[in-house]
Amino acid sequence: MNSSSQYGDLATQLLTESRRSTATNSLLKYNDVLVRAIVREQRDLEARIEATLARSAAAPDGDDPAPAPAENAYMPTVLLYQTAILRNKRCLLAYHHHRLEFLKDLYWSVGGALPLLLSLPPAAANANAGPNANAQAAAAAATAAAMGAGAAPQDVRSKLSPHEVDFLRNYADSLLRLRVDAFSSAGGFAGAGGGAGDGVTEDIDLLAPIAHPPKDLQVHVRVVRDCGVVHTELGAIDFKRGHRFLVRRSDIEHLIVQGYLEES
């Protein structure tokens, strides 16, 4: 460890990143270098504790109980190292918990469209990516603002660690199973003397935004990006960029959230 720094300084830097992320309402790149440095510091502290306990155990032979005061002399050192270990653990947990909660918010802000979230282009690339990328970024910004999620995420994939990508995928799979098993007229939990899907007469969209309750069943939309043929209550509709439609909100709510359509 550097003599000019103290135990816990690296963990403090990690917490400072979390505070900056909260203050700017943005996702910062996962600091793998700093996390690994804290883990190395943890191992160094554990090695120091073992070495200190080994020295305290190397007491003179004999039946004289005199070594007890010598053992107690090492306890403040052990306590200092152990306190630093516990603080580092708390800081690591707080940093990763903050990031996971932020990722959950981003997931909900795009209506559960995980491929869309992981494929959003970087802000710098939007200027040279053509009208489709600009339209996608603008739609994502409008969606995030409407749902109270702050600025639209940009280039999320490059800011995540591999474990965070796995977490998002597992989180999406868990929500999909919940949606099918508990909130679908064709599924449902079997229990309490009832069969699957008891009490559910129609599908409930868990991913629909609730920040602004809809005032009408029908909604005018403009196609921001081509999304192909979508089967609605009125039949199949081919949503091509630039076209406008009057459709049932529940049929295309997810497309609005994902940035393919926008209300006009």
Mean pLDDT per 10-residue segment, the chain (264 residues): 76 94 92 96 95 80 55 85 96 96 89 80 46 49 46 75 94 86 62 49 62 72 86 84 85 77 82
Q: What is the pLDDT of residue 118?
A: 84
- Per the CB < 8 A criterion, the answer to whether 41 and 1 are in contact is yes
Tokens of 134: 């600009």
